[in-house]
Amino acid sequence: MVRLLHAAALAVGLLLATTSTNGQQPTSVCGDCAEWNARQEPFRIVGNTYYVGPRGLSAILITSDAGHVLLDGALPESAAGIASSVRALGFTVGDIRLIVNSHVHFDHAGAIAELQRVSGASVAATSWSAGVLRTGAVPRSDPQFGVISPIAAIPNVRTIGDRETLRIGSIAITAHETPGHTPGGTSWTWQSCEDSRCVDFVYADSLTPVSADEFQFTRSREYPNALSDFERSFARLSSLQCDILLTPHPSASRFWQRVDKRQVTGSVDDIIDTGGCARYVDNARERLLQRVKLEEAGRASK
């Protein structure tokens, strides 16, 4: 049973997490945090899109001559590594002008406050998430309320709308509300070109129905639209042009397998997977279905 629970926790990424401050360096205490935060050499994915996160948590840098965009900030303790990855690629942290986020949990937004401080970037988020980022507190409408740690509050967060496109220099990145994992989940799309070829990136937010024990996606007073939100997100992600799927946890989109293959062949074709978004949605739909069945069976047995 313990093993089963552990396997389940690993599968869903559910964490009992706290953050302690050990001198300057915050340290998250969670089952997978150390492994997630393992050092990863930064590299170009395609064109002006680079991977700058640790091995287990994505952080994506999109560059332009007029400044850069950073997508996601991993764990609180990931800030220094992300900044050094940006520098290792030859870019300047102070040239990051915009930071955006998939969802507000500590493992994807934990370093944003610090990265904003060192870069001077603005932070933009869709409405629900912007409210959370400003306080750092986990709200009751978050399915993981009570089991995950808060994040450092981010002083200035601009609220943006669904489908709004943000521009920095030649970069145009569009927000897509894809709620469910949190009520404010946001996916992002942009194009990057290499040689004469342009590819459509989709950074799809987590779509796993992970929660605190007492939370039910089928009937939550705090998050009554959870199921219809998931459906809305599935429809939206299915509608996007998707050459390269990226996800907050790289493993969720088989990213490293694609990167490794490209490493061998040198061909961009090996990192492209036009069916990636459809498979991601199919998996998420199946996981949600299983979760709904479990909740219904749990109620029936009471």
Q: Which residues are near Zn ion by CB under 5 A?
A: 105
Burial letters for 179-190: b for 16+ Cβ neighbours within 10 Å, e otherwise?
A: bbbbbbbbbbbb
Whose Cβ is closer to Zn ion: residue 62's or residue 74's? 74
CA–CA distance, 270 with 254 (Å, rounded to integer):
12
CB of 178 to Zn ion, least distance (A): 13
Residue 86 near residue 105, CB atoms below 8 Å: no
The amino acid sitting at 216 is: Q
Least distance to Zn ion, CB of residue 224, Å: 20
* Residue 121 to residues 76, 111, 131, 153, 158, Cα–Cα distance (Å): 17, 13, 18, 15, 11
What's the CA gap between 85 and 95, in Å, rounded?
Answer: 14
Minimal distance, residue 53 CB to Zn ion, in Å: 15
CB of 247 to Zn ion, least distance (A): 11
Residue 98 is encoded by which pair of tokens?
């915009």
Give me the least distance between CB of 105 and Zn ion, in Å please: 4
Instruction: Return the residue nearest Zn ion (CB atom).
Output: 105
Minimum distance from CB of 101 to Zn ion (Å)? Answer: 11
Nearer of residues 105 and 258 to Zn ion, judged by Cβ: 105
Question: Which C-beta is closer to Zn ion: that of 105 or that of 262?
Answer: 105
Nearer to Zn ion, 97 or 105 (CB): 105
Task: Select 105 or 236, whichever has its Cβ closest to Zn ion.
Answer: 105
CA distance 183 to 159: 15
For Zn ion, give the closer residue by CB, 105 or 176: 105
- Residue 34: Cβ within 10 Å count: 14
- Helix 226-239 vs helix 276-300: angle between axes, to the nearest 10 degrees? 170
Total Cβ atoms within 10 A of residue 245: 27
